[in-house]
Chains A and B, each alone.
Chain A
Amino acid sequence: MSLNRLFIFSKYVRLGRRLLSPRVTQSGNEVTSYLQSERFFRTHTRKLAYAKDLFLGKVNKEEVFPYPEVSSEELEEINQFVSPVEKFFSEDVDSKRIDHEAKIPPETMNGLKELGLFGIQVPEEYGGLGLSNTMYARLGEIISLDGSIAVTLAAHQAIGLKGILIAGNEEQKAKYLPKLATGEHVAAFCLTEPGSGSDAASIQTRATLTEDGQHYLINGSKIWISNGGLADIFTVFARTEVVDKDGQKKDKISAFIVERAFGGITSGKPEDKLGIRGSNTCEVVFDNTKVPVENVIGEVGGGFKVAMNILNSGRFSMGSAGAGMIKKLIEMTAEYAGTRKQFNKSLSEFGMVQEKFAVMAMNAFVMESMAYLTAGMMDRPGVPDCSLEAAMVKVFSSEGGWVCVSEALQVLGGLGYTKNYPYERYLRDCRILLIFEGTNEILRMYIALTGMQYAGKILTGKIKEMKKGNVGVMLNVWGKMLRDSFGSKVDLGLTGKDGVVHPSLTDSAKMFEENVHFFGTTVERLLYRYGKTIVDEQLVLKRVADVLINLYAMTAVLSRASRSISIGLRNHDHEVLLANTFCSEAYFKNNFWMNQLQKNAPENNDDGIKKIAKEVLAQRSYICSHPLDRTY
C-alpha cells in the first residue's frame, strides 16, 4: 500500500517537474528567438520579407508603407519617354493587321527600335535606356496595347537578354548588350523542350566539350521559342557533364549565349497560335552548334540558377501591362455603353452593365497598385528578393485581365464577338498571360511553398514541442485561441497611433489585419497537420496561395489609397471607394478559403474533387451513362 502511494507520489513529482521545466526552456527560447528575429531584421532590412512574413501572421509594414514613389525628376523623365511611345502605339501600330498577317511589319519594328524599346532595362553604358523597374512597368502599360509587340519585346528583354544582364560577365555584356539594346540583334530564350516544360531533369539538349576544350557542341531541339525565327542571340540551356566535388561525373544544366552566326541553327515554321499571332514562336534546332567556352553564362553547371533568376525576375511587369489593357478597354466600352440605347435607356443605366465597369475598374486599380508596389520594392537599393511578390502580381493580373476582357466583350454582346471590334483579339491575346512565364498553377505552388518553407523553418521548434505534448506551449496556443474566440481585436499597428493607413480606410485595414492574423494561425495549423508532406496537398496549397495573393493585393490598395489621400491626388475619394470595396470582397473570400483550410479533406470537398478526377482519369473519359440510357 505504502509502496503504491510512494509510486504515485513520485509520478506527481515528475509531472510537476515537467510542468515547470518547459516554461523555463520555452521562455528561454523566446528570448533567443526574439534576439534572432531582431538581428534578422537588422541585417536584412533590404532583403525583402514582406509576403513571407504574412505566413507568420506578421505585417512588416515598413516594407510596404508608404507606397513607393519616384522623384519628380524621374517622373518627368518617364513622362518624356511615355508620350512618344503612346503616340507611336496609337498612330503607327495597326494591331488588326499584325494579328491578321501574323507578322509585325518591319517599319513597326524599326519604330520600336528607334524608340529604344529593345533595351529598356539595359544600362546606359551599353546603349540602353537604363530605366528602373518602375519605369519599365510604366512603359509596359502602353506596350501591352498590342499583345504581339508586348510578347516580342518581353521575350527579347525580360527573358532573352536577361541572362547576360544579370549573370553575364563584363566581356559578355560589352560584346552583346549594345547590339541587343538597339534592337540590331533580337534575343530569344531557349529553355522549353518537347519533353521538358518545367522539369529540368528531362532536358535533352546536350553540350559536349570539344577535344581542344575551347568549344561546346550543342545538339538538341527547343520548342515554343518566342522570337525563335527572328533572334540572332539565343540564351540556350543544355546539359553538360560536370565533375562534382566527390569526383563523380554528373549532368548539370548550363546556360550559353549562342549566336545564330555560330551555325547549325535552324528555326522551324512559326506556330499558328490562338492569340499574340504577330509574335514569332517556333521550334529551334541546334545541330552541332559550336559555342566558345567563354559564352557560358555564369559557371558551367550553374544554368539552373540562371534560369530560375531570369524567370523569377521577368514577371512583375505583367501587372501594369494588364492594367494598361483594361484601362483602354474601359474607355472603349464605356463609350459604347453610354451611347447604345435600349428601352429608351442607355446601357450604362442597367445595373448589370454597371457592375461590369465596377469590376473592370477595381481590377485595374488593384493590378496597378500591386505592380507599382512590387516594382518600387525591386527598385530599392540592395538585391531585394521580390520573386514571391512578382509571382503574385502575375497570377492576379493574368486572371483579372482575362475576366475583365471577357466582361468588356460582354458589354458589346454580339458586336464584341465579331472581328469588327478589337475585343475578340484582346481576349485571344490575353489568354496567354495565364500560361506563359510559369503557368498560374505552377506559380501558385511556388507562392505557397516558398512561404510554407519560410514559416516552417521558424515554426518547426514550436510545433515539435506541441506534438510532444509540451504543456507550456499548448497552454500558450490555447490561450491564444481562447482570446481569438472571445473576439479580441487584432491590432498589427496599421491604424491607430503609429498607424500608416489613412483613417478613411480604417475598416479595410482592420479586415486586413484580421485576415493576416487568421492566416498566420492557419499556416501554423497546416504545418502542424501536414508537415513536409504539404508539398503533395495541391488543393490546400492553392487556397493558401489565393489567400496570400488577396492579402498582398489588399496591402497594395491600402498603401496606395492612403498615399493618394494624404498627398491629395485627383479623385482620391474614388480610390478610397475602390480600396474599401475590394478589401471587403477579398476579406470574405479569404475567410471562406481559410475556413475551408481549417477543415479536413472530406469536409471541404477536396476528397470529392480528387475522387471525381481519379475516376474520370482512370477511364480517360467522361464515364456517366447518357441521361437517355436505360437498363430495361
Chain B
Amino acid sequence: MRCARSLVRIQSLRALPGAVGGTVQPAAPRNAPPRNAPHARSLTVRGPCGQALRSLHTGCVLLKNRPVATDYQEKSEREGGAGKSLVTYDDLFERAALEAKTKATFNQVLDVFVKRDIRRRGHVEFIYAALRKMPEFGVERDLEVYNKLLDVFPKEIFVPRNFIQRMFNHYPRQQECGVQVLEQMENYGIMPNVQTKVLLVQIFGEKSHPVRKYQRLLYWFPRFKHANPFPVPHQLPEDPVDLARFSLSRIANDLDARVTVYQLPYTDVRETGEEVTQPYVVGIQSPDQRHLLAKHNPSRPVFVEGPFPLWLRKTCVYYYVLRADPLPPEEKVEEPVDPERCFYYPLQLELDLERDLGDNDSFDVDEVDEGLVFAMCMAGQGDQATLAKWISGLQETNPILGRTATVFRLESGVRELQSTAEPEPETGPSEEEEVLQSRGMKQ
C-alpha cells in the first residue's frame, strides 16, 4: 500500500515541471512572424500541458492581422447577415468565379473567409463548399491549396484535452470535415506533405481521425505510387498526332515497333474557295508484324477493322487495325526444323521421350485462335478514303499488300472523339455512333 502511494506521489511531482514548462511554451509562437514556423514549433514542443493557454482560440496569423480581419468581418456581416447557410459560401465562390477561375481567385476567397471572422463561424460548411468548387477552379491537384484550406480550421480548439474527450469522438463534424479534405486529396492522388501534418496536429491533435487518415495516406501512397506499370500522364499531348503516337506505342507495347506518320493534318483553302482538310494518319508496325505480314498468303484478304476505343484517363481515342482471319487448321503447318541449320549443335534431339509431368510447369491455357494483327493506326477521320492512305503508306514497307485484297470493315464512320469532340452534323450518325459521341461529350 505504502509503496503504491509513494509511486503516485512521485508521479504527481513529475507532472509539475511539465505543467510549468507548458505555460511558457505557447507564448513563443505569438511573436514569431513567419507563417509556417509556429506550426512546426508547436509540433515539436508539445508538452503534456500544451493546451493550457488555449483561451486564445486562434492562429497567430489572425492575431497579427487583427485590424484587417475585423474590417472584413464587419463588411461581411453587413452583406450576408448572421445565419450563413451552405448556399452563401457557394455564392462566395461563384462571385469570384465571375472574375476568373484560377488559383489566385480561389486563394482570394479563402483569404476573405479567414479574415472576415475571428471565430471563423461556419468554416465547416465553407470548407465543404470549397472542396466542391476546387475542380472548377482547376486547383484540385494543388497541394498548396489544400494546405491553405486546412488552415481555415481554427487551431487548437478541437484538440482533445482529457482522456474522456480523447476516448470519444471529439468535435465529430469538424474531424469528419478534415477527413473529407484528405479524402479528396486521396482521390486526386495528392500526397500530403509535412505542412499538412503540422496543420492537422495543430487543429485536431496527435491521434485524431484526420491525423490517422493522414498517416494512412502516407503509408499507402508511396507503396502504390508505381503500382501501374503503364502510367498515363495527367497531361496528355495536345497535338492529335502526338496523342496518336503516344496511344499507339502504348497499345503496341513493343520496343521495336516504329510509329510512322503517313499524313500530317492540314487545312488549305483552294482558289475556288472550298476548304480542303487533310486528316492525319499515324500508324505503327513492328518488325515482327512486318515479317508475319510478308508470310501472309496473298490469296486471303486482310481486313481493316475499327474503330476500337482506347481510354486515356478521361480522353477516348479510336484506333484501327489491319488484321487477317485466323488460319484454317489445314493451312497451319509447323515448319520442321532443318537438321542442317546449326553449324555447331543439334537444334533437336531425335528422342521418343516427352517431358515428364513433374517438370511440366506450364498451365493449361485454353487458347482462342485469333487472326494476326499486322499493323495499327489512328486517323483524323475514320472513312475509307483516309484509311486507304494508311494502307498505301504501309505498302511501301510491305509490298505484299499490293497483291492482297484489303477489305474495309468499318463500323460506321465515327470521327475520332476526344475530350473536346464536337458532333458532326453532316454525317447521319448511326445509333452506335451516337452512343459513342455522347460518351465522348460527357468526358
Contact A531 B343 (CB under 8 A): no
Contact B353 A463 (CB under 8 A): yes
CB B200 to nearest CB in A, in angstroms, measures 16
User: Counting CB contacts under 8 A, is B354 at the interface?
Assistant: yes
Contact A453 B354 (CB under 8 A): no
Compute how far the CA of A271 lies from the CA of B50 in the bound complex, rounded to whole angstroms: 79
User: Counting CB contacts under 8 A, is A18 at the interface?
Assistant: no
Compute how far the CA of A600 lies from the CA of B356 in the bound complex, rounded to whole angstroms: 12
Which of A311, A527, A631 is close to B343, meaning CB atoms less than 8 Å apart? A311
Compute how far the CA of A453 lies from the CA of B352 in the bound complex, rounded to whole angstroms: 11
Contact B344 A535 (CB under 8 A): no
Contact B340 A252 (CB under 8 A): yes
User: Counting CB contacts under 8 A, is B37 at the interface?
Assistant: no
Contact A449 B345 (CB under 8 A): yes
Contact B344 A445 (CB under 8 A): yes
Knowing A304-B340, A631-B225 touch, does A450 contact B346 (C-beta < 8 A)? yes
Contact A530 B356 (CB under 8 A): yes
Within 8 A of B (CB), among A433-464: 438, 442-443, 445-446, 449-450, 452-453, 456-457, 460, 463-464
Knowing A460-B352, A464-B353 touch, does A191 contact B361 (C-beta < 8 A)? no
* Interface of chain A: mostly helix, strand, loop or mixed: helix
Knowing A446-B344, A601-B361 touch, does A529 contact B355 (C-beta < 8 A)? yes
Collect the chain B residues with CB atoms within 8 Å of residue A199's CB.
341-342
Contact A456 B338 (CB under 8 A): no
Within 8 A of A (CB), among B348-366: 348-356, 358-359, 361
- Residues of A in contact (CB 8 Å), total 41
Collect the chain A residues with CB atoms within 8 Å of residue B347's CB.
535
A–B pairs, 5, beta carbons within 8 Å: A200-B343, A253-B340, A600-B358, A600-B359, A601-B359
User: Counting CB contacts under 8 A, is B226 at the interface?
Assistant: yes
User: Counting CB contacts under 8 A, is B80 at the interface?
Assistant: no
Knowing A307-B343, A311-B344 touch, does A533 contact B354 (C-beta < 8 A)? yes
User: Counting CB contacts under 8 A, is A308 at the interface?
Assistant: yes
Compute how far the CA of A464 lies from the CA of B221 in the bound complex, rounded to whole angstroms: 57
User: Counting CB contacts under 8 A, is A620 at the interface?
Assistant: yes
Compute how far the CA of A443 lies from the CA of B359 in the bound complex, rounded to whole angstroms: 26
User: Counting CB contacts under 8 A, is B20 at the interface?
Assistant: no
A443 to chain B: closest residue by CB: B344
CB B67 to nearest CB in A, in angstroms, measures 40
Which of B255, B340, B344, B349 is close to A456, meaning CB atoms less than 8 Å apart? B349
User: Counting CB contacts under 8 A, is B191 at the interface?
Assistant: yes
Contact A453 B355 (CB under 8 A): no
User: Counting CB contacts under 8 A, is A483 at the interface?
Assistant: no
Which of B226, B255, B340, B354 is close to A531, meaning CB atoms less than 8 Å apart? B354
B343 to chain A: closest residue by CB: A198
Collect the chain B residues with CB atoms within 8 Å of residue A535's CB.
346-349
A629 to chain B: closest residue by CB: B226
Q: What are the 3 tightest A-B residue pairs by CB atom distance, in nearest-first order? A: A531-B353, A631-B222, A446-B345
**Most chain-A CB neighbours within 10 Å: which of B226, B342, B351, B354?**
B351
Collect the chain B residues with CB atoms within 8 Å of residue A534's CB.
349
Per-position contact with B for A448-492: 1 when CB-CB < 8 Å, else 0? 011011001100100110010000000000000000000000000
Contact A532 B344 (CB under 8 A): no
CB A239 to nearest CB in B, in angstroms, measures 12
Given A445-B345, A532-B349, A535-B348, 5 new contacts (CB under 8 A): A200-B341, A446-B346, A531-B356, A532-B350, A620-B255
**Most chain-A CB neighbours within 10 Å: which of B223, B226, B352, B358?**
B352
Contact B218 A632 (CB under 8 A): yes
A618 to chain B: closest residue by CB: B255
Which of A200, A528, A532 is close to B342, meaning CB atoms less than 8 Å apart? A200
Contact A198 B352 (CB under 8 A): no
CB B173 to nearest CB in A, in angstroms, measures 30
Task: Report how many A-B pairs have Cβ atoms within 8 Å.
Answer: 101
User: Counting CB contacts under 8 A, is A201 at the interface?
Assistant: yes
CB B228 to nearest CB in A, in angstroms, measures 13
Within 8 A of A (CB), among B324-351: 338, 340-351
Knowing A198-B343, A304-B343 touch, does A530 contact B221 (C-beta < 8 A)? no
Compute how far the CA of A531 lies from the CA of B348 in the bound complex, rounded to whole angstroms: 11
Contact A631 B356 (CB under 8 A): no
Collect the chain B residues with CB atoms within 8 Å of residue A201's CB.
338, 341
Collect the chain A residues with CB atoms within 8 Å of residue B345's CB.
442-443, 445-446, 449-450
Collect the chain A residues with CB atoms within 8 Å of residue B221's CB.
631-632
Knowing A463-B353, A632-B218, A632-B222 touch, does A530 contact B343 (C-beta < 8 A)? no
Collect the chain B residues with CB atoms within 8 Å of residue A531's CB.
351, 353-356
Contact A529 B358 (CB under 8 A): yes
Compute how far the CA of A530 lies from the CA of B356 in the bound complex, rounded to whole angstroms: 6
Contact A532 B351 (CB under 8 A): yes
Per-position contact with B for A108-126: 1 when CB-CB < 8 Å, else 0? 0000000000000000000
A438 to chain B: closest residue by CB: B344
Compute how far the CA of A292 lies from the CA of B347 in the bound complex, rounded to whole angstroms: 34
Contact B222 A528 (CB under 8 A): no
Compute how far the CA of A182 lies from the CA of B441 in the bound complex, rounded to whole angstroms: 86
Contact B356 A529 (CB under 8 A): yes
B193 to chain A: closest residue by CB: A632
Collect the chain B residues with CB atoms within 8 Å of residue A446's CB.
344-346
Per-position contact with A for B224-241: 1 when CB-CB < 8 Å, else 0? 011000000000000000
B194 to chain A: closest residue by CB: A632
Collect the chain A residues with CB atoms within 8 Å of residue B355's CB.
529-531, 533
Collect the chain B residues with CB atoms within 8 Å of residue A460's CB.
351-353
Collect the chain B residues with CB atoms within 8 Å of residue A452's CB.
349
